[in-house]
C-alpha cells in the first residue's frame, strides 16, 4: 500500500514539474505578444481572415446543398429519418414534413375517463393559395362537431402555409372565435412560457415557433398547451389544473390557467376566457 501511494505522489510531483517547465517556456512568448502591438494586430487580422473564410465556405456549401437536388433531398431524408427515429425512441410527436397542412387537435372530456388527446392532419396542394386553404375551416369545424357530439371538447385548428402557422380555437357551439385569417407578423413575443402542474416536481418551458406570432392567432389555450407538450421530449402530467408562468417582451410577468387563451394583436395581446 505504501508503494502505491509513493508512486502516485511521485507521479504527481513529476507532472507538476512538467507543467511548470511548460509554463516557463510559454510565459516569455505570452509577454512578448502582450507588449508587441504589431504582433497583436497580425493575430487579430489572422483571426478575422480565418473567420471570414470559414463563413464564406459555409455559405458556399449551403448554396451548393440547396441548389443540388440530390444533396438537398438526401439531406432532408436523413434529417427526417433522424427526427422520426428520435421521436419513436423518446415517445413524442413530430409535425409532418409537408409544407402545407391543416390540423384539428382535441381534448375530449368525459365523466368516465381522463382527458383524451386526439388530432388529425389534412394536406393540400402547395399550388393552392392561402385564402382557399383558409376556407376549409367551416368544413373542419363541422367534422369536429360531428365527431365530438357526445363529449365536451376543447378544440384547436392549426393551419400551416409555408413557414407560417395560424391557430384558432374551435367551439362546438360558436365555431371559431375569429373567422379571418391574417398572415401578418405580430410584434409580440413571449420570452418565457413555463408549464407547471401541482403533481410535477419540475417545470417545462414551451417553445413556440417564431412564425406562430401572427396577428389574430389564438394561442396558449389548453389544447394548444397539450399539443406543445406532445411535441417535446420531456415527460409530463396534464389535466386542467396546470398553470403557465409567462414573461413577455416588455418583461411583464403573469400567469394563465386552462380556461384562458391569448389573442395576438400587432402591438399588444389580450388574455381571454375560452
Q: What is the pLDDT of residue 173?
A: 43
Q: What is the pLDDT of residue 86?
A: 72
- In 3D space, the residue among 195, 193, 136, 197 whose CA is nearest the CA of residue 170 turns out to be 136
* Helices marked H in the chain: 2-34, 37-67, 69-90, 130-134, 137-147, 222-230
Q: What is the pLDDT of residue 131?
A: 53
Per-residue pLDDT of the chain (274 residues), as tens digits, is 555 655 566 666 677 777 767 777 777 777 776 677 776 777 777 888 888 787 788 777 777 877 887 777 787 677 767 777 777 777 788 888 888 888 989 888 766 566 788 898 988 776 655 555 555 555 555 555 555 444 566 788 898 888 899 998 876 444 444 555 668 899 999 999 999 999 999 999 999 988 999 999 999 999 999 999 999 999 999 999 999 999 998 999 999 999 999 999 999 999 999 8
Q: What is the pLDDT of residue 174?
A: 47
- In 3D space, the residue among 43, 168, 174 whose CA is nearest the CA of residue 104 turns out to be 168
Cα-based torsion angle of the residue sequence 197, 194, 167, 258 in order, rounded to the nearest 10 degrees? 30
Element (H, E) at 161: strand 152-161
Amino acid at each position: 500500500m505504501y508503494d502505491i501511494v509513493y508512486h502516485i505522489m511521485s507521479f504527481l510531483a513529476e507532472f507538476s514539474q512538467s507543467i511548470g517547465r511548460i509554463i516557463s517556456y510559454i510565459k516569455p512568448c505570452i509577454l512578448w505578444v502582450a507588449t508587441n502591438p504589431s504582433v497583436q494586430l497580425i493575430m487579430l487580422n489572422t483571426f478575422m481572415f480565418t473567420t471570414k473564410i470559414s463563413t464564406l465556405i459555409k455559405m458556399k456549401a449551403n448554396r451548393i446543398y440547396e441548389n443540388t437536388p440530390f444533396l438537398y433531398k438526401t439531406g432532408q431524408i436523413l434529417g427526417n429519418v433522424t427526427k422520426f427515429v428520435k421521436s419513436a425512441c423518446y415517445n413524442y410527436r413530430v409535425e409532418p414534413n409537408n409544407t402545407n397542412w391543416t390540423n384539428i387537435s382535441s381534448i375530449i372530456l368525459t365523466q368516465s375517463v381522463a382527458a383524451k388527446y386526439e388530432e388529425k392532419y389534412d394536406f393540400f396542394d402547395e399550388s393552392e393559395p392561402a385564402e382557399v386553404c383558409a376556407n376549409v375551416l367551416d368544413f373542419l369545424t363541422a367534422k369536429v362537431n360531428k365527431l365530438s357530439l357526445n363529449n365536451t371538447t376543447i378544440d384547436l385548428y392549426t393551419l400551416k402555409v409555408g413557414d407560417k402557422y395560424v391557430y384558432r380555437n374551435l367551439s362546438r357551439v360558436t365555431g371559431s372565435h375569429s373567422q379571418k385569417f391574417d398572415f401578418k407578423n405580430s410584434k409580440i413575443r413571449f420570452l418565457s412560457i413555463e408549464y407547471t402542474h401541482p403533481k410535477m416536481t419540475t417545470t417545462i418551458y414551451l417553445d413556440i415557433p417564431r412564425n406562430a406570432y401572427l396577428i389574430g392567432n389564438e394561442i396558449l389555450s389548453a389544447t394548444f398547451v397539450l399539443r406543445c407538450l406532445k411535441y417535446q421530449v420531456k415527460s409530463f402530467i396534464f389535466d386542467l389544473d396546470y398553470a403557465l408562468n409567462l414573461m413577455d417582451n416588455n418583461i411583464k410577468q403573469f400567469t394563465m390557467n386552462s380556461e384562458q387563451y391569448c389573442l395576438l394583436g400587432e402591438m399588444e395581446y389580450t388574455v381571454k376566457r375560452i
